[in-house]
Structure 1
Amino acid sequence: MAEDDDPQCVLDDYDAEPSVPRLVNAIDAWLYFLLGCTFLLSWTVLITALSFFLSRLAGSPLRATLGSYMSMAITASGLAFMAHATATSKQWSSFRRILISTGWLSLLMFLFFLSTFIHVPPSWFFAFIIVNGIMQAGWASHLGTAVYAEAALLGSHCVQALMTGQAAVAVIVSAVQLISAVGSIWGASRQPTASEVSDGIAEERAARVLFGVSTAVMVATMVVYAWSKTLPSHELRTGRMEQQRRSRDAEELRGLISAGPAIITLPDTKIQILRVFKANLVYEISGAYVYVITLAVFPPITVSILSTNPNMHPLLFSAIHFLVFSVGDLLGRHLCSYPRWMIWSERRVLTIAILRTLFIPLFLMCNVQRSATAPPTTAIITSDFLFMLILGVFGVSNGYVSTMSMLGASSLEHNAKLKGRQEDVDVAATVANFCVNVGLTLGSIASFAVRGAICDCNPFVE
């Protein structure tokens, strides 16, 4: 490779001309912001559309624990797919993987859109939700692995944009759901009872808009990312990855044709992953534990908390609750863009993550409905405003700690344990993302135990 073609030389040229990097970085930031939106869009849509899913399962014993089963199935399968994607991250073209994954996610979301026009038996619909969700989890895992690796190679500004995009899409989806809910219940009864069985029309209309818009966003992302191949940063990304691949191939060739000791020092992807995992263990535990607590209560438990105002429609209250959490999550991630609010100490980040455990008893003190037919539990916190305030702080802490864990794990400047190895940056981001998925899975399983704490019966049945 000629000196002018070296990716590092390209980066140095950017640094030498301030006007160029500002433009390139801005375009890259928006691109990874959009990819961050798409990466988390499927999961966000599924949990936001929970009211629609529940309305289609009215009268079925599967209804009570759909949220927990859905979360556990999607996150557990996503973890398995993520393990495969992480292990093969160096063997596939990230550009091709991102395009294919986005295409499949668009198709699967379109099937959810079609489901709003078709009525099937509850057991069939339950199976459709789980199977479709598992497939989306698989493609989202491969998409996330490739996106995090690319963003980490381009710098912290792309990682920050990616994390912000994940939170922003939740706000957008929640806002669309809220607007749809308002339109769907316009003119409906202003005094629904807690035991009232909804006909599901309002939920169906709201979900139809949600799934349709989400499909359009995914298709648009696929088109924009395909266009990004013409950007200078695409050459920088592929150049760095190709440089690492050629370096690895050269080391392997030297090991094959030289004496025995050289073979012992062969770079190995699995060894590299294990080394980075051990170095970033505290950051990785923090990122995982954040989502253990979040998924333990949100949304399986929080969606069962009813408004204490009898004039508030349950669908509207649920939509507002999703929006409050999403806005808080976005605010928490945005705080990490201000140096004065950033905490690089891995132990402090872990401490904040552990303190989030206190949110579980706080939510259980609210107006929780044990099942579709049982009356609400005796609530200690009876104020809707206080519940929303707790939920907002819950969202802020989720976004802040998860972002700091990811930034800290892949930062050469602030993470001394990486020892300045540029080749470990994308691996650190990929492994940290995998640990987040471990936390999501454990949190989904924990939601069954938390639900058991509020039920008089087996939490696995209604």
Structure 2
Amino acid sequence: SVFITASEYFTVAFSGGHFAGNFQNYFSISFCLINLIFVFAAMLRQHKANFPRQIVISHSINFAIFIIVIVLIKIPNIAPNTYFAIILVLMSITGITSSYLQNALYGLAARLPPMYVQGFLTGQGLAGLISSVVPLAIAFMSDAETASTVESVNRRAIIYFAFSAALVLLSIVTYLLMRQLPIYRYYNRSSKMAHQANAAVLQSYSRKDMLCVAQSIWKYGLAILLTLFVTLALFPSITASITSTRPNEARWRSREIFVLIHFVIFNAGDMLGKMLPALLPVRNDRALLLLSLLRMAFAPLFVLSNVQYGTGDLAARSTPVVFGDAVYYIILSVFSISNGWVGTCVMMFGPEKVAEPDRGYSGMMLSVLLTAGLELGSLASFAVRAGICNCNSFMS
């Protein structure tokens, strides 16, 4: 989320290279592929997992990566394609750290009552919202006349990544403090005996046991996979290419601000959707699967918005512009709210379908399918982009 939201900076940094127009597709697919591989690897080693260590080490590495990016921003004249390769490697490393972080957090959350699982997921949404509000605020505080200069874009990027690094440090501190809370100790017994007992259960899983758990939650699993598939197929590779139909009327309608607002709307809607199960819980697996299928309707709705690539030559469009700015933002809001709502309902109520000892394992299964949905959606985004721009989406 941090790298994707910094799209304005990377568009400038990669300009003149092969990936200035499609780096978001590559960001998504590389991160999700690495994340999927290591989430699965982490699940296989679940019986040996040390969740506190995974959380602290993963956060520490992410902090170091943000500092490295800040240093790279200050180094002039790095070739665009070389810089793209460096950033892609750094993103791949965050894919590894995020997989172990995800493994630990979902494993811990699955042992908690649903209300705490929702709080955990809402916190994820809040983190995404903060990461999108900060660059928007920085952009609005910048001088409108110099906002598009390389120096101004670089300065905003440094502030943004420094703020993100500070949030990571804050996350480490708050996690260490949370471990001391009585409610955390109650639900996540940290004693060596409890850990060994849990490890023994996980280590004793046979293929039959795994299949039994999978049969109990397969509809939830398919629902989360389809939900994230649709989301990543369209966001941000397609949605970030949608611009205002009246870009010269106000500053917020300019391309860079309009896209930043779109990130805020998505993350705000996603967070709202993650809070929604408290009021509108959907426990039925068939209903969740149906909702995930209905979200495919967002694809044509976004295509009929003002999607632009490269110079934005409307004569090259193969589809008409049907929706203006307000309608597009409404569509985006429903899209993001449904993403958070369906995904949270799955993660809250899916593990309830299995016995108490199996809930941690079912949570891990769902997290793997969640990551698989992200990866498949990232792959599909290349096809969607190619269909809209009539171009080689891997090279432009």
1:337/1:241 Cα in 2 relative to 1: closer, same or farther (>3 Å)? farther
Aligned 8 A contact 1:89 1:146 in 2: no
- Percent of aligned pairs with the same amino acid: 30
Q: Does 1:64 align with 2:5?
A: no
Partner residue, 2:331:
390
Mark the structure with the bigger radius of gyration.
1
Q: Does 1:207 align with 2:157?
A: yes
**Offset of residue 208 of structure 1:** 1.7
CA distance in 2, matches of 1:89, 1:334: 29
Q: 2:269 aligns with which of 328, 334, 349?
A: 328
**Offset of residue 275 of structure 1:** 2.9
1:346/1:71 Cα in 2 relative to 1: closer, same or farther (>3 Å)? same
Q: Does 1:53 align with 2:2?
A: no
- Which stretches in structure 2 are left out of the alignment for 5+ residues? none
Q: 2:124 aligns with which of 166, 171, 184?
A: 166
Q: Does 1:238 align with 2:196?
A: no
Q: Counterparts in 2 of 1:133-144, with a 5 A limit?
A: 133-144=91-102
1:153/1:56 Cα in 2 relative to 1: closer, same or farther (>3 Å)? same
1:94/1:272 Cα in 2 relative to 1: closer, same or farther (>3 Å)? farther
Give the secondary-structure state (helix, strand or coil) at the position aligned to 1:343: coil
TM-score, normalized by length of structure 2? 0.92
Q: Does 1:425 align with 2:383?
A: no
TM-score, normalized by length of structure 1? 0.79
Q: Does 1:102 align with 2:43?
A: no
Report Cα offsets for 1:17-36 as digits up to 9, x if no partner.
xxxxxxxxxxxxxxxxxxxx
Aligned 8 A contact 2:110 2:117 in 1: yes
Aligned 8 A contact 1:78 1:141 in 2: yes
Report Cα offsets for 1:229-277 as digits up to 9, x if no partner.
433345331358843633765x89xxxxxxxxxxxxx932665444322
- Which stretches in structure 1 are left out of the alignment for 5+ residues? 1-43, 190-197, 253-265
**Offset of residue 205 of structure 1:** 2.7
1:271/1:95 Cα in 2 relative to 1: closer, same or farther (>3 Å)? farther
Q: Does 1:367 align with 2:320?
A: no
Q: Paired residues, what number? A: 388
Letter matched to residue 340 of structure 2? G
Q: 1:306 aligns with which of 233, 239, 243?
A: 243
Partner residue, 2:284:
345
Q: 2:215 aligns with which of 274, 278, 282?
A: 278
Aligned 8 A contact 1:359 1:394 in 2: yes
1:210/1:269 Cα in 2 relative to 1: closer, same or farther (>3 Å)? farther
RMSD: 2.2
Partner residue, 1:289:
226
Aligned 8 A contact 1:366 1:382 in 2: yes
Letter matched to residue 357 of structure 1? M
**Offset of residue 388 of structure 1:** 0.7
Partner residue, 2:349:
408
Q: Does 1:449 align with 2:380?
A: no
